[in-house]
Amino acid sequence: MAGTSLVSTSSEYSDTLLQGDTCCNPFSMGAIKKMVERKIPGIYVLSLEIGNSLTEDMENSFFLNSNRQVEQVCEQISKDVNLQNGYNAMGFSQGGQFLRAVAQRCPFPPMLNLISFGGQHQGVYGFPRCPGESSHICDWIRKTLNLGAYTKAVQEHLVQAQYWHDPLNEEQYRNSSIFLADINQERYLNESYRKNLMALKKFVLVKFLKDSMVDPAESEWFGFYRPAQAKEIVPLQESLIYTEDRLGLKEMDKAGQLVFLASDGQHLQFSEDWFYSNILPFLQ
């Protein structure tokens, strides 16, 4: 889970976790950390570093098995005395689904609110900035990626393959995906995953309306391509993960625990004012 940050206050209910590219980049996670600290005096901010350096942290975001990253984060937060009363979590891009795995697998200390910025919760089926439905070249690229994405070696060692979701071959995806298919309950039902996710006060999903990095961008709101094709999008409320309520999202939606936000920008682009107005209330 390279590039994760935890933000926590001394208050019993205001701890928070963030995840993005690297833990401490002053232009990304470091800047977010400072924004939160400016607005919430005395807040405790922990940036989770997976590895012993920024370089290793970055490399791990590509090559360290996602399941192992989640294990390391769970161990780290369980030992942090500042987080024992609960914390809020913010995940950026792949950090969104990684932190959801933390919520589902590691209920102690409790995650109170989870904020996902552009997280690929139903996976991706496209090369960044190359939407397949509008280009034959892009479609060829993703078909080529498919040739190796579900092999055991690639699944074990390439993080992005662990949330590669091929709608043209759902069976292969379910059988071979070692991370996303598990946390989305697509092979068998783990009742603890459902129970733990439903314990969140709020699950905030931020979608970037001009996103060309995530294909399809609707994955950021749990939408995805209809099976057997790669053009028509099925929104969350019409998907099996919702109608069968595999993760408790249907119940959470009805209870007002799901929050859908949108930012009118490219992937992870938002203004400080937008952040303060839309996100800060979930951290206080």
113 lies in some domain: yes
Active-site position among 177, 211, 215, 239? 211
Q: CA separation (Å) from 221 to 116, 118, 160, 217, 258? A: 9, 8, 19, 8, 10
CA distance 146 to 173: 10
Please provide residue 257's backbone torsions phi and psi, each rounded to the nearest 5 degrees.
-85, -20
pLDDT tens-digit series, residues 59-83: 778 888 999 999 999 999 999 999 9
The pLDDT value recorded for residue 30 is 78
96 lies in some domain: yes
72 lies in some domain: yes
Active-site position among 8, 47, 66, 93? 93
CA distance 24 to 46: 10
Q: What is the pTM of this model?
A: 0.89
* Per-residue H/E/C for the chain: CCCEEEEECCCCCCCEEEECCCCCCCCCHHHHHHHHHHHCCCCEEEEECCCCCHHHHHHHHHHCCHHHHHHHHHHHHHHCHHHCCCEEEEEECHHHHHHHHHHHHCCCCCEEEEEEECCCCCCECCECCECHHHCHHHHHHHHHHHHHHCCHHHHHHCHHHHHECCCCCHHHHHHHCCCHHHHCCCCCCCHHHHHHHHCCCEEEEEEECCCCCCCCHHHHHCCEECCCCCCCEECHHHCHHHHCCCCCHHHHHHCCCEEEEEECCCCCCCCHHHHHHHCHHHHC
Indicate if 93 belongs to the active site: yes
89 lies in some domain: yes
Q: How many domains does the chain have?
A: 1
The pLDDT value recorded for residue 50 is 81
276 lies in some domain: yes
The pLDDT value recorded for residue 39 is 92
Positions in the chain whose pLDDT score sits under 50: 1-14, 16-20, 132-133
Spatial contact of 167 and 221, defined as CB atoms under 8 Å apart: no
Q: Are strands 87-92 and 16-19 parallel, antiparallel or unpaired?
A: parallel
173 lies in some domain: no
260 lies in some domain: yes
Indicate if 267 belongs to the active site: yes
CATH code, domain with 271: 3.40.50.1820
149 lies in some domain: no
CA distance 201 to 199: 6
CA distance 37 to 8: 10
The pLDDT value recorded for residue 143 is 67
Beta-bridged to residue 75, according to DSSP, are none
Range of the domain at 30: 5-124+187-282
